[in-house]
Chain A
Amino acid sequence: MTSNEYDYLRKLLKDRSGLVLSADKQYLVESRLLPIARRLGLTKLSELVPKLKVPGAEPLIVEVVEAMTTNESFFFRDKVPFDHFRETVVPALLAARAQERRIRIWCAAASTGQEPYSIAMCVKEMAAKLAGWRIEIIGTDLSVEVLEKAKAGVYSQFEVQRGLPINMLVKYFVQSGETWQIAPELRAMVQYRPLNLLVDFAHLGNFDVIFCRNVLIYFDQPTKIDVLVRLARITPADGFLMLGAAETVVGLTDTFRPVPERRGLCVPTKGDAKAAPAKPKAPESPRLAVAAGGR
């Protein structure tokens, strides 16, 4: 593949998905896209590029973008965000939403469903506290293909053994030979929709909790800022944003701020203005106090 061809693919991926590939990531493009080229009877990746430029290439472009943006996922990945969800987020929302008794959760990169189903399992495990509450979980992803897998909720023996406690497997899955399927009642808790984070997502409505983990790391700085600002618009003042362990809002935007000692968890700063409107040295907001006392 020539540098011109690689640059064409980089631009295509950046425009379509926000994925930023540095000059040294050519190996990654080759490993992900060679199977597509071979399936089309092509011997080299350089033969694939012209096929992306002809009229009617849209399905192939979508396939290429999906091949580059699909990443491995597993249940309760990184564990800590789910501890934050159980110990900080849900208790705060139980207090803040006592009237509405409704919580809306968005998994912005649902991939093959492990994250939204992990959240659904957390919700199920907190059934006593959430009895009578309406919990909506929406999972979105750029890739239609991974969402089909997410909807089916069928996982291999390997997939259910990484991060998923065995008692959860027994409780929330149905075994079918070598595979395990999410139980119907848990599948019914999650709705899936295709969505590109680069385009407007305001139509999804407001969310009390947004999981947007390990997505921003693939974007360049202006795209990160743009996405975070738009996420802030649909997060109520007392809502939460969960980022990946390696991600932060610091230095990017002041629409969110990190919650101290809760790695990855952020809150909108518009909540700060309400908590302390006039004082130059604002005391800790009630919401933060709830968060800090959650453990």
Chain B
Amino acid sequence: MKTCLVVDDSSVIRKVARRILEGLEFAITEAEDGEQALSECQRELPDAVLLDWNMPRMDGYEFLRALRRLPGGDRPKVVFCTTENDVAHIARALHAGANEYIMKPFDKDIVEAKFQEVGLI
């Protein structure tokens, strides 16, 4: 079973994402911010990260840059999932190593399409 780390400071979003991704047969771990997510990744790298942008302590963008510097940190597929829906943010995310980008609000079809796009389904 593939693993996905869901990183979002909203417990509601984490719950919705968990439900969708478990339906797509992913094993889910959760983190509330970039710092927690980075600790999780230092312990064990997931196959995928569903990543919010705006979070306390360490935001999604800083987490992504830190993740990509970890040994093997280029392996997880990172899918941003954020309300930062402008081209400038998308371009920054791609430049930092994001694989896909979901603009909130999202639904199951969009999550499924994006995870297919990165080759995890």
List residues of chain A with CB within 8 A of the CB of B114.
Answer: 161
In the complex the two chains form, what is the Cα distance from A76 to B61 in whole Å? 28
Contact, CB under 8 Å: A166 / B94: yes
Residue of A79, A161, A165, A175 touching B102 (CB-CB under 8 A): A161
Is B27's CB within 8 Å of the partner chain A? no
Band of interface residues on A: 10 to 19
List residues of chain A with CB within 8 A of the CB of B87.
Answer: 170, 175
Q: Across the two chains, which residue of chain B brings its CB closest to A165?
A: B117
Task: Give per-residue flags for A73-86: 1 if the beta carbon is below 8 A from chain B beta carbons, else 0.
Answer: 00000010000000
The A-contacting residues of B in range 65-121, CB under 8 angstroms, are: 85-87, 90-91, 94, 98, 100-103, 106-107, 109-110, 113-114, 116-117
In the complex the two chains form, what is the Cα distance from A170 to B109 in whole Å? 20
Residue of A79, A161, A163, A170 touching B103 (CB-CB under 8 A): A161
Residue of A79, A158, A162, A166 touching B90 (CB-CB under 8 A): A166
Task: Give per-residue flags for A154-185: 1 if the beta carbon is below 8 A from chain B beta carbons, else 0.
Answer: 00011001110111011000010000000000
Residue of B85, B94, B98 touching A157 (CB-CB under 8 A): B85
Q: Across the two chains, which residue of chain B brings its CB closest to A161?
A: B110
Task: Give per-residue flags for A128-163: 1 if the beta carbon is below 8 A from chain B beta carbons, else 0.
Answer: 000000000000000000000000000001100111
Contact A170/B106 with A165-B100, A175-B86 known, Cβ cut-off 8 Å: no
In the complex the two chains form, what is the Cα distance from A166 to B78 in whole Å? 12
Q: Across the two chains, which residue of chain A brings its CB closest to B113?
A: A162
List residues of chain A with CB within 8 A of the CB of B90.
Answer: 166, 169-170
Task: Give per-residue flags for A174-203: 1 if the beta carbon is below 8 A from chain B beta carbons, else 0.
Answer: 010000000000000000000000000000
List residues of chain A with CB within 8 A of the CB of B102.
Answer: 161
Contact, CB under 8 Å: A161 / B94: no
Q: Across the two chains, which residue of chain B brings its CB closest to A178?
A: B85
List residues of chain A with CB within 8 A of the CB of B109.
Answer: 162
Contact, CB under 8 Å: B110 / A158: yes
Q: Across the two chains, which residue of chain B brings its CB closest to A169?
A: B90
CB distance from A160 to the nearest CB of B (A): 8
List residues of chain B with CB within 8 A of the CB of A167.
Answer: 94
In the complex the two chains form, what is the Cα distance from A175 to B87 in whole Å? 7
CB distance from A227 to the nearest CB of B (A): 30
CB distance from B24 to the nearest CB of A (A): 15
In the complex the two chains form, what is the Cα distance from A163 to B102 in whole Å? 12
In the complex the two chains form, what is the Cα distance from A242 to B109 in whole Å? 25
Contact, CB under 8 Å: A161 / B91: no
Q: Across the two chains, which residue of chain A brings its CB closest to B100?
A: A166
Contact, CB under 8 Å: A157 / B103: yes
In the complex the two chains form, what is the Cα distance from A79 to B112 in whole Å? 14
In the complex the two chains form, what is the Cα distance from A162 to B87 in whole Å? 17
Query: Can you show 10 pairs from A to B with CB atoms below 8 A apart?
Result: A157-B103, A161-B114, A162-B109, A162-B113, A166-B94, A170-B90, A170-B91, A170-B94, A175-B86, A175-B87
Q: Known pairs A79-B116, A161-B106. 16 more at Cβ < 8 A?
A: A161-B102, A161-B103, A161-B110, A161-B113, A161-B114, A162-B109, A162-B110, A162-B113, A165-B100, A166-B90, A166-B100, A166-B101, A169-B90, A170-B87, A170-B91, A170-B94
Q: B residues bordering A, Cβ < 8 Å?
A: 85-87, 90-91, 94, 98, 100-103, 106-107, 109-110, 113-114, 116-117
Among all A-B residue pairs, the 9 with the closest Cβ atoms: A166-B101, A161-B110, A162-B113, A175-B87, A157-B103, A166-B100, A165-B117, A170-B90, A163-B113
